[in-house]
Amino acid sequence: MNDNSDNNNSNEGNIELTYRDAGVNIDAGNRAVELIKRHVRSTYRPEVLGDIGGFGGLFSLNAGKYRQPVLVSGTDGVGTKLRLAFMMDKHDTIGQDAVAMCVNDILVQGAEPLFFLDYLAVGKLDPEKVAAIVSGVALGCRESGCALIGGETAEMAGFYPDGEYDIAGFAVGVVDKDSIITGETIRPGDVLIGLPSSGLHSNGFSLVRKICFEIKKMAVDVYIPEFGRTLGEELLEPTRLYPKVCLPLLERFEVKGMVHVTGGGFYDNIPRVLPDNCGVEVDAAAWPVPPVFKLVQQWGRVARPEMYRTFNMGIGMIFVVPAEQTDTILDYLSSRQEKAYIIGKVTTGDRQVVLK
């Protein structure tokens, strides 16, 4: 019996294959780099060395303002919210979500965001779409005061369906060792001050998608009077960036603990900063809950505890402060046209959250 394995494994006609034949377009990648250059450069701080296109991002750490500088890092993605971007074919805001989920996390330890790197994986590289995504990343970086100094755009043919992609980010910040916010000084009697969210942010979208598009079978372009816009526009509202509000406040006041209200809501996030023998009482009537949460709860018949365990319910960032500083902090935030609410207090307990 003849061995025809060599013939069976060869490509017909001895055609010379290219990377592009396998689904990876290097020319499109180069064009994408050209399109994103201006967005990337718009985020640069004085500490950035070099330019886009190097093998690594260079950042000169100016440690002069810190006695004992400590680097703080965080990484995150956008999760199921990406499905909304695909459904609406709108890609210029999702990058802000990627930045916000990272910089807000390192902020709660008192860190000033310094630089950010992104990772974008696509099935087929569309330079204009990549530029739109990166424009959102750049906007998030500018608003957070951090530089976009590097990233990766990976074209993975056959791995992602046409039109779909994934994005993740990585942020690095700095804080003086003596100024790291740990929560260890929190005591009963301290007060919780909450800053409003911009909506759902980037959490709970698996539940939102199931309720809105599987159970209710709604369309993204349906107009919702309570939102004053379409369902898709409301759900795709980007995550709020808190550094510009919080960093000046941290320089002026004693903040014992901070909470970024993300997946896990109030019940899982607040205990992360509480020391032993402390609990928290949260007054859910202390702030206006945005309509999106009320309607999602109504449409899905979601129990109240599940809502506060899954979503931010309109509060995206929480400060734990001494009671005697509360009025001064609220006055300061009001002078900067920032809304803030006293949403609860620290009690004696075992790191539990009681919702009133």
The residue from 140, 159, 179 where one domain ends is 179
Q: Is residue 232 part of a domain?
A: yes
| pLDDT, average across residues 300-327 | 96
pLDDT above 50 (res 9): yes
Among candidates 311, 93, 76, which has minimal Cα distance to 203?
A: 311
Considering the domain architecture, whether residues 49 and 165 belong to the same structural domain is answered as yes
If asked whether residues 202 and 128 sit together in one domain, one would say: no
Q: Tell me if 122 is assigned to some domain.
A: yes
Q: Rounded to whole angstroms, how far apart are CA atoms 148 and 107? A: 17
**Which of 349, 190, 212, 193 minimizes the C-alpha distance to 279?**
349
Q: Is residue 8 part of a domain?
A: no
Query: What is the extent of the structural domain holding 116?
Result: 21-179
Tell me the Cα Rg of the chain: 23
Q: In which band, very low, low, confident or very high, does the pLDDT at 12 lie, cut at 50, 70 and 90?
A: low
- Kindly tell me the sign of the dihedral angle through the C-alpha atoms of 280, 284, 289, 295: positive
Q: Across residues 309-338, what is the average pLDDT? A: 96
Residue 301 lies in a domain: yes
Residue with tokens 């929190």: 186
Amino acid identity for residue 81 in this structure: K
Backbone angles phi, psi at 5, to 5 degrees: -60, -35
CA–CA separation, 251 and 327 (whole Å)? 17
163 and 91 housed in the same domain:
yes
Among the candidates 120, 152, 179, a domain finishes at 179
Cα(175)–Cα(170) distance, integer angstroms: 17
Do the Cβ atoms of 222 and 86 come closer than 8 Å? no
Reported as a single tens digit per residue, the pLDDT across 194-250 is: 999 999 999 999 999 999 999 999 999 999 999 999 999 999 999 999 999 999 999
- Pair 127, 31: CB distance under 8 Å: yes
Residues 108 and 220 in one domain: no
Number of domains in the chain: 2
Residues 259 and 269: beta-carbon distance below 8 Å: yes
Place of tokens 């999602």: 296
**318 and 341 both lie in a single domain:** yes
The pLDDT confidence band at residue 19, using thresholds 50, 70 and 90, is: low
* 192 bridge partner residues: 320, 344
Q: Phi and psi of 271, rounded to 5°?
A: -60, -20
Percent of the chain past pLDDT 90, that is, above it, reads 74
Q: Among 16-25, 267-276, 333-342, 344-353, where is mean pLDDT lowest?
A: 16-25
Same domain, residue pair 167 and 198: no
- Note whether residue 1 is domain-resident: no
Question: Residue 167 sits in a domain of what CATH number?
Answer: 3.30.1330.10
Query: pLDDT tens, 267-304?
Result: 999 999 999 999 999 999 999 999 999 999 999 999 99
Boundary-marking domain end, from 124, 147, 179: 179
Contact yes or no for 231/296 (Cβ under 8 A): no
Tokens for 242, please give them: 């808190």
Q: What is the pLDDT of residue 82?
A: 95
Domain CATH code at residue 327: 3.90.650.10
Bridge pairing between strands 223-224 and 191-196: unpaired
Query: Residue 308: CB partners within 8 Å, gap ≥ 6?
Result: 265, 266, 267, 284, 355
Query: What is the tens place of the pLDDT at every residue in 80-126?
Result: 999 999 999 999 999 999 999 999 999 999 999 999 999 999 998 88
For 132, phi then psi, to 5°, come to -65, -45
Average per-residue pLDDT for the chain = 91
